[in-house]
């Protein structure tokens, strides 16, 4: 235990410590002490400074005997010496010890009481405290009284720079986790999402040890108790599509699958806000109210109205709010075994169909591939569609090798007879710049057809390159949209682009061939289509 934590536990801390303060107090402090602004929606607007997104290249995992053999070492989990973590922790706690006020937030990760962990956040920015008050599961007064010692502590000293002379640290930013000491230290970044994803990383380590599958996905439930999981990288529609007014939301981002069903890890939602409107996403828009935190959005200095179209600070504008702000949230956030596994991709090459059904081998292949595409203008230097692969749709947060998570998913899908679908929310009729973005209304109609069982009853046609089973019809979607080949005017260009994407898939899968279960490779594309 750090000296700071000991002092906090003993009440031996000179500056004021605000433990589990009410949202109103934290919002008040954010405005008075932290340059926060009050919006006309009743939220605070806070700013994370220079870093407006996660810093995955600065994430480190301590190499220590209790966990070393389990960790997928490499660019995702970069090893850090134990002694370096001690130095980073001392740097963080010294900084926090010097602040005029501290905030402590206690909460749970995991709605299933058999698998939840107790998490404590120690930070100096009130907006960080309010953010984690939203994102962790909020204990009752009785649970707080008996909370005791946490299972994990996160020290957020993001305003203090790391020191690159510490072994294993390469710059001013460091996000380091120590599984044996059960601690995490954040330095040099004030982006609130680092705390949220830190908790997810911890759960990604703990849960598989308990034979529980941790997943980067959203989940919802129909009136008959049928559960759907939505996997997808940023920009694919995971949060938008799971916030369905006709279904109850279990969670928007992080879940676990046990032998009893699924449970949400979090107590809140963290949604993208750029381009947000009530017309497009009423569930999310209506949740932006008192208690929510808007991060890095612009605000009119006179009217205090939020400009959701302004991405001048960052394209990654965000809002954090408790999940019960969603009208159709299911509380507690647990559900039965999933009936449908929906893999979302935003294919900027315009090759993948808007909907296809996957066989078990294809489901595992596309899960471990975790494909989407960046388009021109989204990042510096991106001038044409660029394929992005993230194992299990969340490689940055995995601790074990991706094959472990993929195998666990395969076993659970087989055991509970879950169907798998690949949904393209990207382009049709050509690649980005030539084709058009699939309308959100079409994608919603596809999801409705899956949930209604309509796509189980229609004829399927097999895609030439990827071997995908494509429905010949879908209510609410024009037939010519369903088959990518037919939507392209230039068939030679389609053939060339499809083969290019198939080769990218194959190249990416090379790193997972060794150790992959039998049959996964069979779910990949063909490179010999004439």
Q: What is the DSSP string of 378-432?
A: SSTT--S-EEEE-GGG-GGG--S-HHHHHHHHHHHHHHHT-EEEEEE-SEESSST
Q: Which two three-digit tokens encode residue 457?
A: 């009853």
Is 289 among the residues known to form the active site?
Answer: no
Active-site annotation holder among 118, 120, 247, 318? 318
Catalytic residue (choose from 86, 161, 234, 517): 234
Q: If you compute the radius of gyration of the chain from its CA atoms, what whole number of angstroms results?
A: 23
Separation CA 158–CA 191 (nearest Å): 8
Q: Shortest CA distance to 356 belongs to which of 374, 341, 334, 337?
A: 341
Active-site pick, 58, 252, 253, 347: 253
Is-catalytic flag, 314?
no
Choice among 238, 255, 272, 366 that is catalytic: 238
Distance of CA 329 to the CA centre of its chain: 18
Name the catalytic one among 173, 239, 242, 297.
Answer: 239
Catalytic: 39? no
Among 138, 197, 272, 451, the active-site one is 197
* Catalytic one of 51, 128, 178, 216: 216
- State how far the Cα of 61 lies from the Cα of 168, in Å rounded to an integer: 10
Is residue 175 within 8 Å of residue 55, measured between CB atoms?
yes
- Is residue 388 within 8 Å of 372, Cβ to Cβ? yes
Q: Is the peptide bond before 399 cis (omega within 30 degrees of 0)?
A: no
How far the first Cα of the chain sits from its last, in Å, is 64
Per the annotation, the verdict on 216 as an active-site residue is yes
Beta bridge partners of 264: 255
Cβ atoms of residues 458 and 348 within 8 Å:
no
Active site residue 318: yes
Is 253 among the catalytic positions? yes
Catalytic hit among 29, 51, 54, 337: 54
Distance CA 322, CA 225 (A): 23
Contact in structure between 135 and 31 (CB atoms under 8 Å): no
238 is catalytic: yes
Residue 455 per-residue DSSP state: G
448's tokens: 């409705």
Which residues on adjacent β-strands are paired with residue 103? 18, 123
Q: Which residues are catalytic?
A: 54, 197, 216, 234, 238-239, 253, 318
């Amino acid at each position: 235990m750090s000296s700071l934590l000991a002092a906090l536990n003993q009440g031996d801390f000179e500056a004021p410590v605000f433990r589990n303060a009410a949202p109103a107090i934290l919002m008040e402090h954010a405005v008075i002490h932290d340059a926060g602004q009050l919006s006309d929606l009743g939220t605070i607007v806070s700013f994370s400074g220079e870093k407006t997104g996660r810093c995955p290249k600065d994430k480190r995992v301590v190499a220590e005997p209790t966990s070393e053999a389990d960790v997928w070492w490499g660019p995702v989990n970069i090893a850090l010496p134990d002694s370096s973590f001690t130095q980073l922790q001392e740097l963080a706690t010294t900084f926090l010890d010097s602040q005029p006020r501290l905030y402590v937030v206690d909460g749970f990760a995991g709605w299933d009481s058999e698998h939840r962990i107790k998490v404590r956040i120690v930070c100096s920015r009130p907006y960080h405290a309010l953010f984690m008050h939203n994102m962790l599961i909020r204990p009752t007064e009785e649970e707080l009284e008996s909370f005791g010692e946490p299972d994990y502590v996160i020290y957020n000293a993001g305003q203090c720079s790391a020191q690159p002379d510490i072994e294993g640290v390469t710059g001013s930013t460091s996000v380091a986790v120590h599984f044996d000491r059960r601690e995490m230290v954040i330095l040099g970044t004030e982006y609130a999402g680092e705390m949220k994803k830190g908790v997810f990383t911890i759960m990604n380590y703990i849960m598989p040890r308990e034979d529980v599958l941790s997943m980067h996905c959203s989940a919802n439930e129909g009136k008959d108790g049928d559960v759907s999981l939505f996997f997808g990288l940023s920009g694919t529609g995971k949060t938008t599509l799971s916030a369905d007014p006709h279904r109850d939301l279990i969670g928007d981002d992080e879940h676990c699958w046990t032998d009893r069903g699924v449970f949400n890890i979090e107590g809140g939602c963290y949604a993208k806000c750029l381009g947000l409107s009530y017309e497009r996403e009423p569930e999310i828009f209506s949740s932006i109210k008192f208690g929510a935190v808007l991060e890095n959005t612009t605000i009119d200095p006179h009217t205090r109205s939020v400009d959701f179209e302004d991405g001048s600070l960052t394209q990654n504008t965000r809002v954090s709010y408790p999940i019960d702000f969603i009208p159709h949230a299911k509380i507690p956030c647990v559900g039965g075994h999933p009936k449908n596994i929906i893999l979302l991709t935003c294919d900027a090459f315009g090759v993948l169909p808007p909907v296809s059904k996957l066989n078990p081998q294809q489901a595992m292949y596309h899960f471990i591939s975790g494909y989407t595409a960046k388009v021109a203008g989204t990042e510096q230097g991106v001038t044409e569609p660029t394929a992005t692969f993230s194992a299990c749709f969340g490689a940055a947060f995995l601790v074990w090798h991706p094959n472990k998570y993929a195998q666990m998913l395969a076993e659970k899908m087989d055991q509970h007879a879950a169907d798998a679908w690949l949904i393209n929310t990207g382009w049709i009729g050509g690649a980005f710049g030539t084709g058009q973005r699939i309308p959100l209304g079409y994608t919603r109609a596809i999801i409705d057809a899956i949930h209604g069982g309509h796509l189980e009853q229609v004829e399927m046609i097999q895609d030439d390159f990827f071997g995908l089973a494509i429905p010949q019809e879908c209510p609410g979607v024009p037939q010519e949209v369903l088959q990518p080949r037919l939507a392209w005017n230039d068939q030679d260009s389609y053939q060339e682009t499809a083969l290019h994407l198939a080769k990218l898939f194959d190249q990416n899968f090379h790193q997972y061939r060794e150790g992959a279960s039998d049959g996964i490779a069979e779910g990949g594309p063909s490179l010999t289509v004439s």
